[in-house]
Structure 1
Amino acid sequence: MKQADKKLTAHLQTECKTILTEGRCEAEECEGVTVYGLAMYQGDKPVAVISDISSYRSNVEELVALCNRAQVTKDTIWDVVDDYLT
């Protein structure tokens, strides 16, 4: 295998993909409300899950798209979400 191919393969194996998640709020004040979050995968392995970001799907869809466009990593995802919410 050529060196360039090895580098590309290594990059693809470490690249993260972020997807939207959906769940139910479990806190007493919002019990049963649908909430959205995100899950970050490296290959087929989940490396970060933030399950309750907002009850507004479109807001979290925007955040997920931003994470994928900016190639956010598992090391920075928490900071990105925190910045997005403030």
Structure 2
Amino acid sequence: MTLPTLMLGLKAANAVRPLILHKGALVMMYDDLLTTNEAAKLLRLSPRTLQNHRARQTGPLYTHHGRKVFYRRVDLENWSNLNRKL
């Protein structure tokens, strides 16, 4: 059984992101998920720094799929913006 894909005008980084309807909730497609290594490259941090932030609960939001950890690009951008200094 396939889930219907919806294209909604949710813009993040000037891109429309496809969403799927799953159990009555809209969720982002899995293309938007980055591994720890990919997220670290995007933030210009080492993967170990992201692991430390996860352990201390001071880093960006993340999700687990089994034992794998993934980050959403929008969560990385939001976390980075929260840490901006004047």
The alignment's TM-score, normalised by the length of structure 2, stands at: 0.32
Q: Looking at both structures, which has the greater relative contact order when contacts are Cα pairs under 8 Å and sequence separation is at least 6? A: 1
Structure having the larger proportion of residues in helix: 1
Select the structure of larger CA radius of gyration. 1
The alignment's TM-score, normalised by the length of structure 1, stands at: 0.32
